[in-house]
Amino acid sequence: MAAGALSWALRAARQVLPSPCPRQVRSYYVDWRMLRDVKRRKMAYEYADERLRINAIRKNSILPRELQEAADKEIAALPRDSCPARIHNRCVMTSRPRGVKRRWRLSRIVFRHFADHAQMSGVQRAMW
């Protein structure tokens, strides 16, 4: 039990691969949900081609229906995390699932914090 928890802890603390960058690199994700999201993104990238091809067979009016049904079964057999629909854009800094602006990948609170401290290039307080 303790060993299992330890192993999980180690896996959560994902070490970045040795890179030539000498400065400090973030070696932990904000929380487990962020980690799971990262895993889903990686898997979706791996299976993207296969999903595309099988879907091309499925969403087809030319090929026979039996073939399309076989393709349905195949795509369902793929791992669940390979589906891109399961990816959720969380805040990069705080892992907040809601209120995330896509352009900056930040939640509204973090965005406001950085913008007020003049750390967002080209962002200004609106006044008109």
Partner 1 sequence: STSSVLSTDKDKSAASKDSTPEGVSKGQEDGAETPKQQLLDIIGSMKVEVSYRKKLQQLKASESKKQALKKLEGPDSEGSVPQGATEDTQRGKALNPELVKAASAVASSLPRNKKQTESELLAQLRRHEETTDKQKKGGTINLRNVISEMTVKRQTPAQRVAMLSGRLSLQVDEDGQRIRPERSSAQSIDSRSLKVGKRLNIFTKASREPEHALKTVSSPTIWDLEFAKEVAAVTAQPPRNGFEEMIQWTKEGILWEYPIDNEVGMEDDAEFHEHIFLEKHLEGFPKEGPIRHFMELVICGLSKNPYLSVKQKVEHIEWFQKYFEEKKELLQEI
Positions that interact with partner 1 (CB under 8 A): 19-22, 49-50, 53, 56-57, 60, 62-64, 66-67, 70
Q: CB–CB of 56/74 below 8 Å?
A: no
How many Å apart are CA 72 and CA 75, to the nearest integer? 5
Q: Which is nearer to partner 1, 32 or 45 (CB)?
A: 45
How many Å apart are CA 93 and CA 29, to the nearest integer? 9
Q: Which is nearer to partner 1, 57 or 83 (CB)?
A: 57
User: Distance of CA 52 to CAs 19, 42, 84, 95, Å?
Assistant: 33, 16, 11, 29
Q: Which is nearer to partner 1, 50 or 116 (CB)?
A: 50
CB of 89 to partner 1, least distance (A): 22
- Nearest CA to 91 among 31, 45, 40, 41? 31
CB of 62 to partner 1, least distance (A): 5
Q: Which is nearer to partner 1, 4 or 64 (CB)?
A: 64
How many Å apart are CA 94 and CA 33, to the nearest integer? 11
CB of 45 to partner 1, least distance (A): 14
CB of 42 to partner 1, least distance (A): 19
